[in-house]
Amino acid sequence: MAKPIKVLIVDDSAVVRKVFSEELSKESDIEVVGTAPDPYVARDKIVALNPDVITLDIEMPRMDGLSFLKKLMRYYPIPVIIVSSLTPKGGKMALEALSTGALEVISKPSGSYSVGEMSIQLIDKIRAVAGVKVNPSMFAGNNNNAQVKNKTKALTETTNKIVAIGASTGGTEALKVVLTEMPPNAPGILVVQHMPAKFTTSFAERLNEISSITVKEAADGDSLVNGTALIAPGNFHMLLKKSGARYYVQIKKGPLVHHQRPSVDVLFHSVAEYAGSNAAGVILTGMGHDGANGLLKMREAGARTIAQDENSCIIFGMPKEAIKLGAAEKVVSLNDIRTTVLNMIVGEQ
């Protein structure tokens, strides 16, 4: 029998420590080996208990979670799941944590985000990141290459080619690699990144600052035009629609798909239906199998399809499932995805 995943909970809230401990202890494959109210206590417990995964609050007294994470990634890299409040400040700090070396982010329980929802996602994420060999050099926050780029207005106002991208664990950094190198007149891009509500706003704003294309959190009815990437808002599905020659997006609620909202499958199925052979689908690093079936539907509809390879993935879950289904026409390294996409669809025009 496999050893349980050892988890250390670091949070200044006694209530959160209690809730997390109780919920996680219900799982036979997870063991809460300790809790800590601040990073100083956490430091000693990490050495003594050797946990497999840490849940880390961002806003704490004595030392904030982000400062602690930076020290941790330098001296003792370990899978970290960030726990953050649903506030603009919390979103920006969580995004910086993901750039520094954290693998996942969840929301603290609130009126709009129940303990039950939190527990399901936290348990799934702990299982996904346990055993990941964290390499801090893979994260943008540990190098200073990200720069604000000048924007040039796209050459055309409409798009006749669509790029649809899906990602989960490790996807925030993978998407930076793909989107920041896109040319100003790149085909319209739709992105689903598994991320809680509110955090996608900060994510889109940061990508917009460092990309030549325009990146924004999608709103219902937004047109998809060249030189623009639309990010699905957290807790909403995003679908592609078409009216005449105009592509636009529908943003809506609906049931969770593969425990996710937004779901990559929901997006990919709509792209298969409305764009067909005018689209390219890309599935990046992430846990689970969301997007695999949708990517297959896209390929069957004539779209070009790509999966990120195992060596460049933080977690080779979603791409692996897509490859197993025969959904991926090509399997390439993260650094080659941008060029491969453009060669596939722009080269056809």
Active-site positions read 168, 194, 290
Contacts for 108-117 with beta carbons within 8 Å, 24 or more apart? 108/13, 108/16, 108/83, 108/84, 109/16, 109/19, 110/85, 110/86, 112/86, 112/197, 113/86, 113/196, 113/197, 115/19, 115/23
Distance CA 268, CA 240 (A): 9
Distance, CA of 17 to CA of 115 (rounded, Å): 12
Where are the extended beta strands (E) located within the chain? 5-10, 30-36, 53-57, 80-84, 104-107, 162-167, 188-193, 214-217, 228-231, 237-243, 246-252, 279-283, 304-308, 330-332
> Is the alpha carbon torsion for 268, 270, 273, 275 positive or negative?
negative
Query: Are the CB atoms for 174 and 205 separated by under 8 Å?
Result: no
